[in-house]
Amino acid sequence: MMSDPILKVENLKVHFPVDVGTFFSNKAQLKAVDGVSFELNEGETLAIVGESGCGKSTLGRAVLQLLHNTEGQVIWMGENITGYSVKAMRPLRNEMQIIFQDPLASLNPRMTIGEIIAEPLATHNPDMPKEQVKSRVREMMDIVGLLPRMINRYPHEFSGGQCQRIGIARAMILQPKVIVCDEPVSALDVSIQAQIINLLGELQKRFGLSLLFISHDLSIIRHISHRVMVLYLGNVMEIAEKDELYNSPRHPYTQALISAVPVPDPDKEAHKKRIVLKGDLPSPINPPSGCVFRTRCLYADQQCEREKPDLNTLTEASVKSTHQVACHKQAEIHRTN
């Protein structure tokens, strides 16, 4: 990995105006992403995890400048691309791609898969000869595990796993540097999930890809990620190396998520300690004061109600310098667990 991050996000906020009230047009702000900062290195997979509604997909789209950023910066290879217009972003699109959650819905049913995979080439390399385009498409189909002779078939003729391979081929045809994977296996059967995860790992090694991998499944995350970032209500709760986070989670929310991951051994699963969160995820229109997690936290006190915790780097000799936690009580919680 290179010393300078390929992607750097600083205090990113994405707020949406929404109407509240019945008779008067009162506006409120839905805080989908509320001050997120992180770095992504070359060849690294940073996983983004959290409950539904915590802002994972919004964050991924904001990084790609598919959504307007309310505040903060997105720095791509040293260049601040925040607020770039569609025209200004176009030269960068061949370096930044996305794979969507629903494989079939993301494909145009009126286009053959050859046309779908070739579409980015038509946009970014319009002068490329047709035979060369066709050759590139067949080569990429072979790389992702699709038979090149299927090039003239339509999406409805393929299974969900095959459709996701088509989506991956489309994202890879320009050989990008970063791919945002927005829950790319959540709609697939478990056996197919493993195949797609392994394919992404192989592509990462072959092409030196950096991945932002969005998921709510911590079992999958453990298999593919290098580092993990835990989101809650648009805020970062914890960032750490994968093994350190799974073996020694410091934030109460991270601990609850990991306690819910099934264990293959039936005896261990039956006797495993589970942390059950109370209540539901608060509304991002009216988030709690102070720490946004305090309404569901077992350790919250008056300080948590008053003060929003900073994302601080742990300074203990036993942890890596990349482990960061946003919790007033993390040291006390760690001592008692």
Q: What is the pLDDT of residues 296-321, one digit of tens each?
A: 998 999 999 999 999 999 888 777 77
User: Can you read off the two tokens belonging to residue 337?
Assistant: 């667990």
71 pLDDT more than 90: yes
The full set of domain ranges for the chain reads 7-95+176-336, 111-169
More confident position, 54 or 320: 54
CATH topology of domain 7-95+176-336: Rossmann fold (3.40.50)
The least confident of 23-27, 230-234, 263-267 is: 23-27
Contact 60, 214 (CB under 8 A): yes
208 pLDDT more than 80: yes
Average pLDDT over residues 66-92: 93
Average pLDDT over residues 264-270: 73
CA dihedral 260→220→171→95, nearest 10 degrees, is: 80
**What separation in angstroms does the CA of 37 have from each of 11, 24, 110, 273?**
5, 36, 40, 32
Q: How far apart are CA 7 and CA 78, in angstroms?
A: 8
Q: What's the pLDDT score for residue 272?
A: 76
The model carries a pTM of 0.92
Q: What's the pLDDT score for residue 241?
A: 95
Q: What's the pLDDT score for residue 2?
A: 46
Q: Using one digit for the tens of pLDDT, what is the confidence trace for 10-23?
A: 999 999 998 876 55
Which of the four pLDDT bands, split at 50, 70 and 90, describes residue 1? very low
- HEC-encoded secondary structure of the chain: CCCCCCEEEEEEEEEEEEEECCCCCEEEEEEEEEEEEEEECCCCEEEEECCCCCCHHHHHHHHCCCCCCCEEEEEECCEECCCCCHHHHHHHCCCEEEECCCCCCCCCCCCCHHHHHHHHHHHHCCCCCHHHHHHHHHHHHHHCCCCHHHCCCCHHHCCHHHHHHHHHHHHHCCCCCEEEEECCCCCCCHHHHHHHHHHHHHHHHHHCCEEEEECCCHHHHHHHCCEEEEEECCEEEEEEEHHHHHHCCCCHHHHHHHHCCCCCCHHHHHHCCCCCCCCCCCCCCCCCCCCCCHHHCCCCCHHHHHCCCCCEECCCCCCCCCCEECCCCHHHHHHHC
